[in-house]
Every structure is written in structure tokens, then in C-alpha cells.
Chain A
């Protein structure tokens, strides 16, 4: 046997014997002093290995024995509290973790207030104030689950505190607050609060004492840790009710907490999830003392939401965040509170709606629409409801759900998924009255009537069938669309047109211009579901079938008088979609199978327009072809059908953008169309890859971009930037450098500026992409030019 271990064990056994039996103060004190040698605090220290053995195997036994001896008589064996001091020193100076455990154990084990419990609680206070907790923690640091453990320990201490408060003893828990704050500052909110919050949630339920202890705990968290702690709590709490129980009126007591909850988490950051926002704002709404803060938050949110500068400069993500917070506030606030500051709120709202609807970025506009609808309904309930048209998607649904008024109390959760029908009894049990027939009376037999739970499916799509009036020929459609007063026939014609056009290209070409004209001017005279889509697809089909003529017509109409903005945008969309269809690889094979050779086969001299002849002549004179056909992608095996007609799509659109007409001013109010034009030109450029006309197109497009590069509208700039990328992708690298070197240099410096300084995130991103393309271009050319 280990001599060290046995020596220590003998000494400890003797000491335990003396401690438990002796009534002699001097004897006891000398025994305790001899034991203190093992703690290493005295001049006559025990050897290191003996100390280690003692603290590993015997220390807690000694402590328990000491706890057991604690009584007024025992302490009075020696005067002046000498014995008590020595007794306490074991707890305060020995290994902290074991001391802490025995302390907690004895406090927990005490059945009722007693001398011993009081002494132990005092000792715990000394233990904590002597910084021994740090020693406990230090001991735990090596362990993986340190922070959850710490959370559990904090809970134990809180339990002890609550117990002693019940016993009428005052306690301070600022040390625990500091521990909590420290852990949070170190970014361990999840770990420690993940343990604390679920327990505290249960303990504070209907227990005022626990609530008060909890409030005090969070109040005393140092200011520098307040933000981390609050954010963690908001995240860990399952809802505003719990948050309110845990925090109490912290925001009215602590300036720092108020700042974090009403400004920092709402305006300076936008990292909270939607449930967190709901918890936070719900917390503010749950107490009359806190509600003024909620009103104030709403005012400030609305002001920020409506500020045109914020709209331009804040990231979209933050704008969404603010909008969500706004809707949650509105859902919480009552009629009276809103009416009190109605004028102020309405003013911010109106300004915001105006700036947002003017914006050309759809998400920004849509946020404007959703918030405006909800807010105006709340602020101005007596007025006519505001209703915008916008597409429903997950975001809009989420936001509208946020705006729904809160239920007063948290009711039970809605029932789960639909339950499969369950029959009451089995059919066998049926007893048929053998004397006579079953009468058809309803409710006569319970078994047959137990099918009430059959839940109908959605049957909203069950409309009347109207296939009888569908025209069978393209010409019939044309006639039905122009002359028919029979709306069923009119609708059937519209529905059938795309299919008929694609099926019979020859017949379509006979009336293509007429068809395009009719479709462009077609108005929705009856409510036809999906009218816009039907019309657009038909127009695209016509354009694809007779590309040169129809595209030229449409592009010319883009600048004509007397069209609505909607129609002009339609023209752009149709041109882009038709170009996309024409340039699709493999299209040609299918097309040639189904009809006589169209204009897609070979351009004859007669069909080549003047501008193209000039361009091609110039190209021929200036170009040496040494790598014919080597550009482009391997996937496109067939010729690009768009090749022959790209010019008809592209150049007419560029002609007159800077010449306003009475009804159409691209460089003025109609910037939305300008943005769309830039995007469309970029798309056409991109689709013209591998075509002969790509080079003149690229040159013209770069000029267009150059003229508009400082446009104030982000959507227009985005269009221009993607157009630049299209040029870089579609025009062969050698030709870019040979024909457009100056334009490229200019573009490059502009792109660099945009990439660094543009306010719009998408613009910066697009500029970076274009710059990368330029870089790639240079890399590809350098090895070529080197000998």
C-alpha cells in the first residue's frame, strides 16, 4: 500500500475521531491546525503528495464532519470565535469546488431555518465575496460543458437565495449577475441561458419571490454586459410572456437596458429573427409602464421607414427588418394609443409611401405597399381601405401574418393536421329492420351517419367548361379577337392562340403583323384569369414565328405616341422572351421539322437591311479572321436562330431613347421604363452571343451605357451594369480589344468607381462581376499576344 496514502488516512481518521468525540477546545483546535497543514497555507506544510492525497480523497469528508459539528455550544468551546474562524477557513481556503458542493449540499439539506442554516448561508456569502467562485470556475474551465454547468450552478445558488429569502434573510446576488454578465459578454449566452431560461421560466411561473430574484439578477448585470445578456434572453425566451416574467420592468429602471431594447436591437442592428422581434416588442407591450416605449418605438420606426435617405442607403435586409418591426408594433398597439399620435404617424407614413412607390426596385415598392395597407388601416380605420396589387409570396404572407392583431391571452395551440375520418362502428354491426325496408329518413341509423368528419378538398377550381367555342385556325382567332362580341369565344380564342401559332407557322406568317397589332392593343374586356400571361405568350409566339417583321414592328412601336407605359414594358418583355426562344439551342431542328423552311434557314440578300449591309461591309474590311468559329460554347450545336434577326430586335430600341415625345420621356419621369430598357438591351446582347452582329451591338450598347452611367436611379444603373457584362460575355475577346479599346478603358474606370462607391448593394455586386469578366478577358488575351 502506498505509504503516503496510508499516512494521510491514519492522520485523517484520528482527526475525525477527535473532532466527533472531543469536548476539549484546545484539543480540537490543535487537531484542526494539524489538518490545515494539508491545505498548504501554514508555515509547516505537509509534503505536496500528502496535500494532494488529502484534497482528493479526504477533504470533503472533513468538511461534512465540520458541518455536522456546527452548533452554538461547539463554537463556544473556545472564546472570541476562534473556533469558528478556523472552521470557516477550511471552506474558504481549501479546494473551492468541493467546499462549494458541501456548502450547497448543507444548505439544501437543511429542512427548516436553523442556526446551522444561518451559519452556512453566511459562509456561502463569505465564500462568494472572497472570490472563491472564480476558483470553482477555474476548476471547471477544462471541461467541455463549462457554461451549461455554470448555468446549473447559478440556478442552485439562486435556489439557495430564494430559500434564504423565504427564511427572512436578506441576500445580494450581484455576484451571480456578474457571473451571468461575464458569460454573456464572452458570447456564451446560448449555453448559459439555454440552461437558465427554461428553468427560470418554470420557477417564475406564478411565483413572485422567484420573479423578484430573477428581476434583481438581470438588473444587477453590469451595463457593459447588458446588451449581450438581453439579446441572449430575447433569443432564448419562447415568447413575450416569458420575457416579461424574467425581465420585469427592467427597461424602465435601467437606461442601458432601455437603449438596448428600444434602439440598438431595432435600429442599429438587424440581426434579430422575427420571433425575437415579436418577443421583444411583445415584452414592451405587456405592461402599462412599458407601453409608452412601444409607441415611441413605433414613431421612430415609421420615421426611419419613411426617410427617403434611409430607403436609398439602407440595405434591403434592414428595410425588411424595420418593416416587420413596424407591423408587429402596429399589431400590439390599441386604437386609442394610435389615435393619440395619429397626425405624426400619418405624416411619416405618407412621406414613406411616396418615396417607396417612386423607387424602381420592386422589393422596396412592395414593402411600401404592404406597410401602407396595414398602417393606413390601423391609423385611419374610418377611411376607405388602401389596397395595392402585389404578388403574394412567402415574405408578404409572413408580413401580413405579423400584422394580424395579437390574441389577448395565449390560447391552446390549434389542432394538428386534419384527422383521417374514423367510423364509429363497423358496418357488420348494422341491424336492418327485417320487417320493412329502410326508410330514406336521414339520421335514422347512426352507423351510416358517422361520416360527418369527411373534410372536403378545395374545389375552387371547379369552373364551367367552355371548350366548344375554341377556334381551330389562326385566322379564326384573329377574327374572334377583333370582331367577336361573344366573350366566351373571345376568351377561347385567346387561350388557343399560342398553341395554334406554334402549330401553324405558315398560316401565322400570313397575318403576323395584324396579329401582333391586335395583341399589343388587346384589352381585358372580361375578367379572364391569367389574361396578361396569355396575351404575352401569344405575342411571343407570333414574334418567334415571324421574327424579323414582328420584332421590327414592336421595336418601332416602343417609341411611338399613344402607348401606355404598361404597353411599352410589354413590348420589351416580349422582345426579350422571343429572343430567348429563338436563341435556344436545338430549336431549329424542331422548327424545320414542322414546317417549310422559314427565314431562319439562310438570309438571302434581299432580306438583309441597309444597316446590316453597311455594318457587315465595315466588319469585312476591318477584320482579319484567323480563328473563325472558335468562340463560344460547345453546347450550341446548331446555328443560333436569333443570329439573323438580332438587329431587328436591338437597334430600333436604341434609336430614340434621348428624344422625349409628349407622352413618353425616358430620361425624365419614365425612368422605370428606362431601367427596363437597359435590362432588355443587356438581355438581347447576351442572347446574341456567337452572332455576326454582336460586335456592332456591343459598341452601340457601350455608348448607351456611357451616356447614362451617372443616372440617379439604382434600377437603371443595375440595367446598365448588367448590359456591360453582357457585352463582355457576348462579343469575342479579340474583337472587343480590336474594335472597342477606348470604350473598355472608360468602362473599366467607371466600374471600379461603382464597385467601391455605389449606394446600392446590387449595383456594387454587378460592377464587381463585370470587373471580374474584364480581368478574365485580359488573362485570356495575354497568352495569345505573347509570342
Chain B
């Protein structure tokens, strides 16, 4: 007979003490490979959580009380990049327990668009951030902070502001690509070195709030303010093609992530819920109704752990469908 579905799972544990809404999450490994979770809060703090003791190791205050929207670590150092609504992108040195801003750069856009980084080589990184103009994306080289290119749609395109970015370089190709979701609901694929808009697809009718790409399948998914996810593919690395949409119970997706092993997709919902899908088939697997406010961000670590940060100031950590 058919097995009864197991009751909705509970989080493995919860992290409290962020002090305000949790807007950004990022897993990294700390000293001796110990797993750490970084969270950015509405009040401008970055917390570093020890996942064994489940307590914050440190709280970094570098954004003048303004919301931290994006976090990323670089292997060197280790260094942490944090993006804040104070228009600063800070570079932190976290080695040996330090927590000092070693570098900072001024951003041009006040929007909510999160940056994206391509850290392929050990020394040179490529960073995509929203640019000065209303609709442009800047590509910078780190650590030199040189402006590599400025991606601006043609005059009549009316894409609106960029809302989410994803830099990406296929193994088979020397050229980095940028996927950008725009205010008008469309998704664009840019060839960064050629500064050329390769393809564009109208995926949503509302601003694209987040996107996630599965490079192995050359397929991705995006969410917006509306009640559906859009699944699309990159044909021949140049043509964006909408594959289908997936209807949701409630409108509003703030963030999406595909687990590194490409098995499952997690979405952060305005309806306070985290939704988990089987990525290949988009079959819904679980609805995690734990938070009591909007879920702003989700993140996976290499071992498959899922974290979700919410406006209820809590971070929930889940272990679902452990990878083998």
C-alpha cells in the first residue's frame, strides 16, 4: 500500500540572538574545518555562529546599523565580503579570530540587489554589483577594485533595476556569464567580456526577487513577488528559455538556493514558509512552516545542511534528505 507521508519535519536546531530580522546567510568553514554560519541582520550586524555550540562567536558591526544584504567568504584569509544598505561593501579579515575591516568599497546603487562573485582563480575575483545608472550592472575585479565592464541594456529595453545577479563560468567556456533578474520580471543573460546581452526571457510579471542556477544541468529557477516559480534553461549557453512555471500556495519568494549536489531546491517565502522541492522534477517535498515572519534568505552548506533566516529574528537549521 501507499505509505503515509511523514509529518512535516522540525528544524534540527534554531539560532536565536540575531537581534533583528535576518537578511543574509552564508555557510563557510572556520578554523580546523569547523562549520560556521554567517548571518547578516537588519540592524547592520554580521553574526558568526558556531554550529557546534550553536552560539554566536562574534558580531561584526561594519555597516552603520544598516541592513546587511549579502555575505560571501573568500578562501584567502579567510576573508569575508559583506554588502550593506549603507552602500558599503566591506572586506573583513577573519583569520586567527580577527574581525577587522581591511578594505571597503562604495557601492553606487541603493537598491536591494545582492552582489555576486566569481572566485575561480586563487587570486583574482570578479564581482557583480548594481551600478550607478538605474538599470546597469558593474563588473569589478578584486582585490584591485578595477571596473572591468558596465552592463547596460539598450535604451529602449525598459528592464528596470537589476534585482538579483548570478555570475557564472561554464567549465567548457573561457567566458564568464552573468544572469540578472530585473524589475520588470525578465531575466537576462550577459556575456561579461563582450558586454553583450545574449538573451532575455520574460519569466515573471513582477520583479524577480531571486534566482538559482544549476550549472551542471544548465538550468535554473527564479522567484518573484508573484505566486509562481519559473524554471528556465540555457540553451547552448546563450539562449534563455522558459521551461515552465510552478504554482505556489502564496505569493512572494525572497530567495532560492539549489543544494550543491543538485538534488533539492529551497525557497524562502514571504508567507513565512520554506519550501523544499526535488530539483529535477520540481516535485514539492516539504513545507517548513516554522517561522512567524517573512523568510528572507536560505543557504545550503556542503554537507547538505539548510539554514533559513527570517524576519522573526531566528535562524532555523534543517537536515533534510541527507546527501550520500
Residues in chain B near residue A423, CB distance under 8 A = 261, 263, 323-324
Q: In angstroms, how far is the closest chain B Cβ from the Cβ of A436?
A: 7
Partner of A461, one of B8, B283, B284: B8
**B216 and A461: CB pair below 8 A?**
no
Indicate whether A432 sits within 8 Å of B172 (C-beta atoms), given known contacts A423-B323, A440-B217, A462-B273. Answer: yes
Contacting pair A440 B263 (CB below 8 A):
no
Check: A768 CB closer than 8 A to any chain B CB. no
Contacts A430-B216, A432-B171, A456-B284; A437 near B5 (Cβ below 8 A): no
Minimal beta-carbon separation of B33 from chain A (angstroms):
20
With contacts A430-B216, A437-B235, A451-B263 taken as known, whether A461 is within 8 angstroms of B289 at the C-beta atoms is yes
Please, which residues of chain A bring their CB within 8 A of the CB of B8? 457-459, 461
Question: B235 to A457, Cβ gap below 8 A?
Answer: no
Q: Given A418-B6, A459-B5, A464-B250, A434 and B172 touching (CB < 8 A)? A: yes
Chain B residues whose CB sits within 8 angstroms of the CB of A464 once the complex forms: 249-250
List which B168-187 residues lie within 8 A (CB) of chain A: 170-172
* Docked pose: A427 CA to B215 CA in angstroms: 13
Residue on B with the closest CB to A459?
Answer: B287
B180 to chain A, nearest CB (A): 19
Which residues from 92 to 148 on chain B have a C-beta closer than 8 Å to any C-beta of chain A? none
B7–A462 touching, CB < 8 Å: no
**Residue interface mask B73-104, A partner, CB < 8 A = 1:** 00000000000000000000000000000000
- Compute how far the CA of A449 lies from the CA of B261 in the bound complex, rounded to whole angstroms: 11
**In the bound complex, CA of A430 to CA of B234 (Å):** 19
Known: A436-B236, A465-B250. A454 touches B289 (CB 8 A): no
Find chain B residues with CB under 8 A from A463 CB: 249
Q: Which one, B172, B249, B322, contacts A437 given CB within 8 A?
A: B172
Do residues A440 and B218 form an inter-chain contact, with CB atoms below 8 A?
A: yes
Give, as a whole number of angstroms, the nearest-CB distance from B291 to chain A.
Answer: 12
Instruction: Please state if A439 and B5 are interface contacts (CB–CB under 8 Å).
Output: no
Question: Which residues of B from 1 to 54 have beta carbons under 8 Å from A?
Answer: 1, 3-9
Interchain CB contact under 8 A, B235 and A456: no
Q: Does residue B286 face the partner (Cβ distance < 8 Å to A)?
A: yes
Which residues of chain A come closer than 8 Å to B243, judged between CB atoms? 440
Q: Which residue of B lies closest to A420 (CB)?
A: B322
A437 touches B6 (CB 8 A): no
Q: How far is the CB of A549 from chain B (nearest CB, A)?
A: 35
Residue numbers in B under 8 Å from A457 (CB-CB) = 5-9, 285-287
- For the complex, give the distance between the alpha carbons of A542 and B38 in Å: 46
Contacts of B55 in A (CB 8 A): none
Contacts of A436 in B (CB 8 A): 172, 236
Q: Counting CB contacts under 8 A, is A421 at the interface?
A: yes
Interchain nearest-CB distance for A443 vs B (Å):
9
Q: Is A707 an interface residue (CB 8 A)?
A: no
Chain B interface secondary structure, helix, strand, loop or mixed? loop
User: Which of chain A's residues has its CB closest to B220's CB?
Assistant: A440
Chain B residues 279 to 295 lying within 8 A of chain A, measured CB to CB, are 280-281, 283-287, 289
**Cross-chain contact A440 with B233 (CB below 8 angstroms):** yes
Kindly list chain A residues whose C-beta atoms are within 8 Å of the C-beta of B236.
436-437
Complex alpha-carbon distance, A455 and B3, angstroms: 10
Chain B residues 197-217 with CB under 8 Å of chain A are 216-217
Q: Which residues of B contact A438 (CB under 8 A)?
A: 216-218
Chain B CB within 8 A of A409 CB: no
Q: Is A422 an interface residue (CB 8 A)?
A: yes
Please tell me if A410 contacts chain B, counting CB pairs below 8 Å: no
Neighbouring A residues of B263 by C-beta, 8 Å: 421, 423, 451, 454
What is the CA–CA distance of A135 and B271 in the complex, to the nearest angstrom? 82
Residue in contact with A454 in the complex, picked from B171, B216, B285, CB distance below 8 Å: B285
- 8 Å CB interface, A450-479 against B: 451, 454-465
In the bound assembly, the distance between CA atoms of A440 and B216 in angstroms comes to 9
Query: Is A448's beta carbon under 8 Å from chain B?
Result: yes
Q: Are B5 and A454 in contact (CB under 8 A)?
A: no
Is B237 on the interface with A (CB-CB < 8 A)? yes
Q: Is the CB of A462 within 8 A of B217?
A: no
Q: Is the CB of B262 within 8 A of A448?
A: yes
Query: Does B278 touch A at the CB level, under 8 Å?
Result: yes
Q: Return B21 CB to nearest CB of chain A, in Å.
A: 17
Interface presence of A486 (CB below 8 A): no
- Asked if A448 contacts B6 (CB within 8 A), the reply is no
A454 partner residues in chain B, CB cutoff 8 A: 263-264, 278, 283, 285, 321
- What is the chain A residue whose CB lies nearest that of B278? A454
Pair A439/B273 contact, Cβ less than 8 Å: no
Q: Residues of A contacting B3 with CB < 8 Å?
A: 418, 455
Q: Is B272 close to A, CB under 8 A? A: yes
The answer on a CB contact under 8 Å between A458 and B5 is yes
Q: How far is the CB of A106 from chain B (nearest CB, A)?
A: 55
- Contact residues in B for A465 (Cβ distance below 8 Å): 249-250, 271-272
**CA distance in complex: A323, B243 (Å):** 57
In the complex, whether B219 has a CB less than 8 A from a CB of chain A is yes
Is A382 in contact with chain B by the CB < 8 A criterion?
A: no
User: Which residues of B from 225 to 241 have beta carbons under 8 Å from A?
Assistant: 233-237, 241
Closest to B215 in A: A438
CA gap between A448 and B263 in the complex, in Å: 7
| Closest CB in chain A relative to B222 CB, distance in Å | 15
Whether A455 lies near B218 (C-beta < 8 A) is: no
With A and B bound together, what is the CA distance between A430 and B260 in angstroms? 14
Q: Report the bound CA distance from A183 to B234 in whole Å.
A: 81
Does A442 count as interface, using CB distance less than 8 angstroms?
Answer: yes
Min C-beta distance of A547 to chain B, whole Å: 32
User: Closest approach, in angstroms, between the C-beta of A648 and any C-beta of chain B?
Assistant: 38
**Which A residues are in CB contact (< 8 Å) with B7?**
457-458
Distance (whole angstroms) from the CB of B301 to the closest CB of chain A: 16
Per-residue 0/1 for A411-441: is the Cβ within 8 Å of any B Cβ (1 yes, 0 no)? 0001000101111000100101011111110
**Residue in B172, B264, B286 whose beta carbon sits within 8 Å of that of A459 in the complex:** B286
Kindly name the residue among A432, A442, A456 whose own CB sees the greatest number of chain B CB atoms within 10 A.
A456
In Å, the complex CA distance between A449 and B287 comes to: 22
Collect the chain B residues with CB atoms within 8 Å of residue A458's CB: 4-8
A456: chain B residues within 8 A (beta carbon): 5, 283-286
Q: How far is the CA of A456 from the CA of B286 in the complex (A)?
A: 6
* Chain B residue contacts of A427, Cβ below 8 A: 261
Which residues from chain A contact B280 at a C-beta distance below 8 Å? 442, 448-449, 451
Residue of A nearest to B272 (CB): A465
Query: Which residue in A418, A442, A455, A462 is a CB contact (below 8 Å) of B289?
Result: A462
- Tell me which residues across on chain B come within 8 A of A414, comparing CB atoms: 1
Name the A residues within 8 Å of B5 (CB-CB): 455-460
Report B242-265 CB contacts with A as 1/0, cut-off 8 Å: 010000011000000000011110
Q: How far is the CB of A446 from chain B (nearest CB, A)?
A: 12
Q: Which residue of B lies closest to A444 (CB)?
A: B217
Evaluate whether A459 and B284 lie within 8 angstroms (CB atoms) in the complex, with A418-B3, A451-B278, A454-B263 already known: yes
Point out the residues of chain B lying under 8 angstroms from A449, CB to CB. Answer: 280
Q: Max chain B CB contacts within 10 Å: which of A449, A459, A461?
A: A459
In the bound complex, CA of A435 to CA of B237 (Å): 12
Whether A439 contacts B250 in the complex (CB less than 8 A), given A455-B6, A456-B284, A458-B6, comes out as no
CA distance A439 to B321 in the complex (A): 26
**What is the bound-complex CA distance between A763 and B154, given in angstroms?**
88
Residues on A with beta carbons closer than 8 Å to the beta carbon of B237: 437
Chain B residues with Cβ under 8 A from A422's Cβ? Answer: 324
Q: How far is the CB of B262 from chain A (nearest CB, A)?
A: 6
User: Which residues of chain B have C-beta atoms less than 8 A from A437's C-beta?
Assistant: 170, 172, 218, 234-237
3 tightest Cβ-Cβ pairs between the two chains A and B: A440-B233, A458-B5, A457-B286
- 21 A-B pairs with C-beta separation under 8 A: A414-B1, A418-B6, A421-B324, A423-B323, A432-B172, A434-B171, A436-B172, A437-B235, A437-B237, A439-B218, A440-B241, A451-B263, A451-B278, A451-B280, A454-B264, A456-B5, A457-B8, A457-B285, A461-B8, A461-B287, A461-B289
Residues of A within 8 A of B (CB): 414, 418, 420-423, 427, 430, 432, 434-440, 442, 448-449, 451, 454-465
| Additional A-B contacts beyond A432-B172, A440-B243, A461-B289 (6; CB < 8 A) | A423-B261, A423-B263, A439-B233, A440-B235, A454-B283, A465-B250
